[in-house]
Amino acid sequence: MTVTSLEALPAFERHLRAERGRSVHTVRAYLRDVETFLSEAGVGDDDGLREVSLADLRAWLGVLSRRGAARASIARTSASLRTFFGWLERTGRISTDPSLRLTAPSRHRTLPPVLAQRSATALLDVAEVAADDDDPIHLRNRAALELLYATGIRVGELVGLDVDDVDLASDVLRVVGKGDKERRVPFGVPARQAVAEWLTRGRPRLVGPQSGPALLLGRRGRRADQRQIRSVVHDLLQHVPDAPDLGPHGLRHSAATHLLEGGADLRMVQELLGHASLATTQIYTHVSVERLKASYAQAHPRA
């Protein structure tokens, strides 16, 4: 019996999707990590799962390290294996979870690049000027960038928005994030104006049989995709002097950092971004502190 025919794997996949609400990408990554380990460990049937030991798991992480795998990849593999074997024990497929004491190297918390506030303003000014030609795609691009920066939503969440998810009367978005968790995210006047112009002057000229309720459309009338929006962000940033080359996620980082610099509460930012853990949001406090230190070193005569 091959690894892919293990009866436990399809059940584990259903558990991740239905019970834990994991995204398609996360489920795929977990299954790939587990299947690779089981194949390398020679586990060919469900009975073999009972023979896996902590030493086997540690040895596999060691192999990945010697092969030059990134620390983040090893940490994710460790999480995948702990999730899998913990689920096996809870469902009675094994009597003891061998992964209870499995640890992985801690992931480096790299500081994400962000735009200075003046650069973010300049980027949105560029998008607004481009939209003056009344090209519906340029109107869409302006609305997309305003929403990304105003709300800090993920690009996948942005392109998944439907028209009814935008409440221009109360300036609030209904966003469906990771794990199909829904949240409400406010936005400001510039974003409202950009979206209103897109809905009245841009979208009606692109809408077609395949548009459905999608908020953002491509040139052919289909729902805009992440690749299109990434291209827009990269292209428009070329017109902002001294700005780093960021994608949409860079605008998310920038929005969070600027909120904290403006005095926003960390838990409020966590809620806006849709982070499951406050620890994920705390990296933005490090960004703010590092930028403060850099400004201090540059400006203070005794730095």
**Which of the residues are catalytic?**
154, 178, 249, 252, 275, 284
Is there a contact between 138 and 130 (Cβ–Cβ < 8 Å)? Answer: yes
115: its two tokens: 């735009």
Cα angle for residues 229, 230, 233 (degrees, 5° grid): 90
Task: Report how far residue 46's alpha carbon sits from residue 84's, in angstroms, rounded to the nearest whole number.
Answer: 13
Task: Report how far residue 174's alpha carbon sits from residue 155's, in angstroms, rounded to the nearest whole number.
Answer: 14
Which residues in 187-215 are b (16+ Cβ under 10 Å) and which e?
A: beeebbebbebbbeebbeebeeeebeebb
53: its two tokens: 């030991």
275: its two tokens: 């982070």
Longest dimension (CA), the chain: 71
Which of these, 92, 79, 64, lies nearest to 34 by C-alpha position? 79
Q: Computed over its alpha carbons, how large is the radius of gyration of the chain?
A: 23
